Amino acid sequence: MQISVAGYDADSCTKAAYDAAYLAGKAIAASGCVVVCGGLGGVMEAACKGARDAGGDSVGILPSADPNDANRYCAFVVATGLGHTRDFLVAYSGDAVVVIGGGAGTLIEATAAYQAGKPVVAVRGTGGVADEIAGKYLDDRRTRKIIGAPSAEEAVRMAVLEVSGGAKSPKSKAKRSTG
């Protein structure tokens, strides 16, 4: 299972969001899942660092074509050269999305996952987009409520639960090669 982590870049990341992302990365790895993120700084770096420190893997999907732009904790790097369009790749590559703080790019990732019917779990108290969308629907279709979580670890637990059978909406069932 792959869990995307979306949130603040380094230019606006708070300590609370960075710390929450680190704990989310650790929890994702401890759950046997892979972190997927935008591969840059801030929340993305923290999630990758948490995954690495817990013995897990992370995939950074970069907006640039230069793999050297990735944070040093990314285990795998996809240099897209697609700019902000890569936000859709981050959202679609995860079976669920955990939102920690964030601005417009984070909102794009959350909205893309929402439209795809994927679980989106926002960590309350981390600011930005996460606090704005937690517990809400993103439109009048009321496809899937954004789950609000009190902590990063709980957000990961809820995301894994939703993907593995707790969800009422369609889930991502992409088949992945095991070797």
- For the segment 5-40, what is each residue's pLDDT rounded down to a tens digit? 999 999 999 999 999 999 999 999 999 999 999 999
CA atoms within 13 A on the CB side of 65: 2
Q: What is the value of pTM for the model shown?
A: 0.91
CATH top-level class of 2-163? alpha beta
- Whether 152 contacts 20, CB under 8 Å: yes
Domain ranges (residues) in the chain:
2-163
pLDDT tens digit sequence for 67-94: 999 999 999 999 999 999 999 999 999 9
- Cβ–Cβ under 8 Å, residues 132 and 106: no
